[in-house]
Amino acid sequence: MDAFRIKGPCKLDGELEVPGAKNAALPLMAAALLTEEEVVLQDVPAYADVGNLIRLLRSLGAKVTHDDVDNPLGGTVRIQSDHAADPTAPYEIVKTMRASISVLGPLLAARGRASVSLPGGCAFGARPVDLHLHGLRSLDAKIELDGGQIEATAPADGLKGRIIFMGGPNGPTVGGTQNVLCAAVLAKGRTIIESAACEPEVSDLVRLLRAMGAKITGEGSPRLVVDGVERLHGCTHRVMPDRIIAGTDAIAAAITCGRVELSNYPQDSLLGVEDVLQRIGVRFEFLDDAKDLLRRTVRITADRRQEAVEVTTQPWPGFPTDLQAQLLAVLTLADGNSVVTEKIYSERFNHTAELERMGAVFHRIGPAVVVRGVPRLNGAPVMASDLRGSACLVLAGLAAYGETVVSRVYHLDRGYHRLEDRYRRLGADIERFNADASDPDDPAAAIEIPAKPKKSAGKKTTPT
């Protein structure tokens, strides 16, 4: 298993491009199932999740290619679906990636039937899909759960446009909104999705669907209005830049008191993050004419220890849960006590125990963590247990004194393409190596030796 060895502290300095967004690309790829014409998606990076979804789409009868994968912005994916193929998404693929659920709405709308395995939970808690199913049932789909499989069928004369309230006890759902939207575009009549997720990745899906011929208004607001059309056609679409990678890079500049220049920076989707980072002392200097807020060029600098701050993760445009772990890393070194409250996934704090091994000090109170800023972190062997938590450990390693070994970086690889190359280009001393369990002197290998399975070890680690 791969691990990272990082020697710190370092001061990042240089230029990077923000690649296309994984969380946007996955539902866009699934939406290509809505037409039998070719859909071309540009700026799709070659992450494991993208590869898994390609496997899933192929198993659903689609022809899929992924070219130009070495492009720093991401490669080009071409998808051509076949409505006559079997609409069964098998557990063997779905279990590798929760986002597989995004094929449910498109399959149901385009093929009249879908059979998709229920995705499990993840490393930071239960991940229900009840709102996805509620939304699809509202469009007159019949949905049954059979042996862990979601069996969904549309009426013989097709799905019906309806008024649907999509809010749940935890607020709106990004994936649920996307699934119902994809089903509604081919339903008969008008659908209103109220309490829709406003996330930029939903808006990117709306842009794709519109380019395919769908009639949708209201993206970026909690009410989406969809007028169903008979059929959709192929198109070419450029995936939005990854706001979580851009935010991670900005925090990397902050924690190393460095300077990072980012092009293809999606400012439009990061205003809430910029606000928090500016409050802790990070500077954003835009180097373009602001013609396109989705793709800007910015210089991010931090030249001193950061200030403490109080932050709550929220649906967009608030501070995103997917940057909470990375923010915690920089706050461990801030001047004073910070409070970070996790409103989306109250258990998403696996990274704090690892950061404590490096000298960070936390006090957890339910869904909140008080972070006491310390003067320095010290390198240590640490273990990644989820995607964004892994990024947090890498950032901490860049700032820590001495050697940090981050094991299980396969979690990281799910959402960052060769992050070590990215930061090495900016001056970091970071390398990937194979933490072979046969080498007893290897600090990462020592972590990788499998423990005896415990009886309670049933917790799933299905990724985000």
- Catalytic (active-site) positions: 122
Least distance in angstroms from the C-beta of 27 to ligand UD1: 7
Q: Closer to ligand UD1 by CB, 170 or 217: give it.
A: 170
- Sheet strands side by side (includes 223-227): 163-165, 190-194, 223-227, 215-217
Q: Is 204 in the site for ligand UD1 (CB under 6 A)?
A: no
Q: How far apart are CA 384 and CA 394, in angstroms?
A: 9
- Distance in angstroms (rounded) separating the CA atoms of residues 136 and 12: 47
| Footprint (CB under 6 A) of ligand UD1, residues 301-340 | 320-322
For position 131 contacting ligand UD1 by CB under 6 A, the verdict is yes
Laid out side by side, the sheet with 296-301 consists of 13-17, 259-265, 296-301, 283-286
Question: Which DSSP string do the residues of 129-160 spell out, in sequence order?
Answer: -HHHHHHHHHTT-EEEEETTEEEEE--TT--B
The size of the interface with ligand UD1 (CB under 6 A), counted in residues, is 23
457-461 contacts at long range (C-beta below 8 A, 24 or more positions apart): 459/121, 459/123, 460/120, 460/121, 460/122, 461/122, 461/123, 461/385, 461/386
C-beta of 51 vs 168, nearer to ligand UD1: 168
Q: How far is the CB of 225 from ligand UD1 (least distance, A)?
A: 20
User: Judged by CB, which is closer to ligand UD1: 204, or 249?
Assistant: 204
Q: How far is the CB of 438 from ligand UD1 (least distance, A)?
A: 35
Least distance (Å) from ligand UD1 to the CB of residue 342? 10
Site for ligand UD1 in 22-81 (CB under 6 A): 23, 26
Nearest approach, Cβ of 127 to ligand UD1 (angstroms)? Answer: 5
- Secondary structure class of 402 (helix, strand, coil): strand
Under the binding rule (CB under 6 A), the answer on residue 193 touching ligand UD1 is no
Distance CA 78, CA 60 (A): 15
Q: Please report whether residue 129 would count as binding ligand UD1 according to CB under 6 A.
A: yes
Nearer to ligand UD1, 1 or 368 (CB): 368
Out of 130, 292, 347, 436, the residue judged to bind ligand UD1 by CB under 6 A: 130
Task: By CB under 6 A, tell whether 344 contacts ligand UD1.
Answer: yes
Which residue, chain included where needed, has tokens 């802790």? Answer: 280
Instruction: Give the one residue of 132, 243, 296, 351 binding ligand UD1; rule: CB under 6 A.
Output: 132
Q: Is 150 in the site for ligand UD1 (CB under 6 A)?
A: no
Exposure string of 92-113, with b = 16+ CB inside 10 Å and e = fewer, is ebbbbbbbbbbbbbbbbbbbbb
Window contacting ligand UD1 (CB under 6 A); options: 39-47, 59-67, 170-178, 211-219:
170-178
CA distance 138 to 123: 31
Q: Which residues in this chain contact ligand UD1 in the complex, by CB under 6 A?
A: 23, 26, 99, 127-132, 168, 170, 173-176, 197, 201, 320-322, 344-345, 464
